[in-house]
Amino acid sequence: MPTTTRQWLLNGHPRGRPIDIANDFRLATTELPDPGPGQMLLKTLYLGFDPAQKGWMENIADYVAPMAIGDVMRGSGICEVVASNGGRFAVGDLVFGTTGWTEYLVSDGKELTRVETTLPPTAVLSVLGTTGLTAWCGLFKVGKPVAGDTVLVSGAAGATGSIVGQLAKIAGCRAIGIAGGQEKCDWLVREAGYDGAIDYKAGSVRDQIKELCPRGVDVIYDNVGGKILNDMLSQIATGARVVICGGISRYETGTLPAGPENYFNLVFRRGTMAGFIVLDWASEFPAIRKRLEAFVKDGRLTYQEDIQHGFENAPATLQRLFSGQNRGKQMLRL
């Protein structure tokens, strides 16, 4: 049994700037206590990465507890139970939840869930994890698409965006995605079932939306914010629903962008714009996971995972999300 563990600790708050992987984290070796009554020793197998982790490092997100310098970096993971002192899971069980960037941890497992899926276990961090749940809740609970609607998604080739487009198709909608680069746009149409794709790095996004959505956009699912949100707002249809899921284009900047000039189209088109935090539907997650798993099993939903390797690479793996290097859900295998 290990008596120590390596951990990545927070060493800087990257406010108003990109993450500095050399200085914002510190690799430490820490003593592991013996599991007390009801506790288990867990070995981390995979970590999952989310753009929101940068906001947690900055302490700008008020839906999670603040992080202090020296805290174990917060993040999701899949662990194996390697020893138990009467804990709620059995030795050999795989569990997932907010485990943090640590190779081993001692836990009572109260906040963790057993991995119970017929898909590969990593699915609990991707299509069945926060990613798939965010796609589902943002689209169906906030966007409320009906068959025949045109759904326009930014960040479409990312983990969340690629699932949103496929769920929109399952709901009988037309799905158009916006992503960075020709390769991602080709993937959207060929593999992820989108009806059309717009490369925001090539040409006018606004003109391309007009061309691909001539009757306007009924549901916008925005992961990016800034100029792309403004361009999307230029082409909304009457009664449009604008879902604000994320705003990754500003996560590395010091100031919030000016409000989108085209917001007044919400008045002309009688539209609504709403943000959400997926955790608000936590009580429904088990049921939604079952629906997502069934879609994967019957071949209607595909998902992509980008698995990097080596615990020492955790900071660099997080940074991949902000440079668009990830292809699907970003994970790390320890």
Ligand X SMILES: NC(=O)c1ccc[n+]([C@@H]2O[C@H](COP(=O)([O-])OP(=O)(O)OC[C@H]3O[C@@H](n4cnc5c(N)ncnc54)[C@H](OP(=O)(O)O)[C@@H]3O)[C@@H](O)[C@H]2O)c1
Chain residues that interact with ligand X, rule: CB under 6 A: 50-52, 130-131, 134, 155, 157-161, 179-180, 184, 223-224, 245-246, 248-249, 276-278, 321-322, 324, 326
Nearer to ligand X, 26 or 320 (CB): 320
3-state SS, the chain, equals CCCEEEEEEECCCCCCCCCCCCCCEEEEEEECCCCCCCEEEEEEEEEECCCHHHHHHHCCCCCCCCCCCCCECCCEEEEEEEEEECCCCCCCCEEEEECCCECEEEECCCCCEECCCCCCHHHHHCCCCHHHHHHHHHHHHHHCCCCCCEEEEECCCCHHHHHHHHHHHHCCCEEEEEECCHHHHHHHHHCCCCCEEEECCCCCHHHHHHHHCCCCEEEEEECCCHHHHHHHHCCEEEEEEEEECCCHHHCCCCCCCCCCHHHHHHHHCCCEEEECCHHHHHHHHHHHHHHHHHHHHCCCCCCCEEEEECHHHHHHHHHHHHCCCCCCEEEEEC
| Shortest distance (Å) from residue 310 CB to ligand X | 20
| Shortest distance (Å) from residue 5 CB to ligand X | 26
| Shortest distance (Å) from residue 32 CB to ligand X | 30
Q: Beta-carbon neighbour count of residue 300 at 10 Å?
A: 13
Q: What is the spatial distance between Cα 93 and Cα 80, in angstroms, rounded to a whole number?
A: 6
Nearer to ligand X, 263 or 276 (CB): 276
The token pair at 330 is 């970003």
| Shortest distance (Å) from residue 278 CB to ligand X | 4
Cβ neighbours of residue 298 closer than 8 Å, sequence gap 6 or more: none
Nearer to ligand X, 87 or 158 (CB): 158
Nearer to ligand X, 106 or 292 (CB): 292
| Shortest distance (Å) from residue 55 CB to ligand X | 8
Nearer to ligand X, 34 or 207 (CB): 207
| Shortest distance (Å) from residue 93 CB to ligand X | 26
| Shortest distance (Å) from residue 168 CB to ligand X | 15
Are residues 56 and 101 in contact, defined by beta-carbon separation less than 8 angstroms?
Answer: no
Nearer to ligand X, 97 or 324 (CB): 324
Q: Where on the phi/psi map is residue 328: left (φ > 0), alpha (ψ -120 to 50), or beta?
A: left
Tell me the one-letter amino acid at 129: G
| Shortest distance (Å) from residue 12 CB to ligand X | 20
Nearer to ligand X, 107 or 131 (CB): 131
Nearer to ligand X, 106 or 241 (CB): 241
Q: Beta-carbon neighbour count of residue 312 at 10 Å?
A: 12
Nearer to ligand X, 17 or 270 (CB): 17
| Shortest distance (Å) from residue 318 CB to ligand X | 11
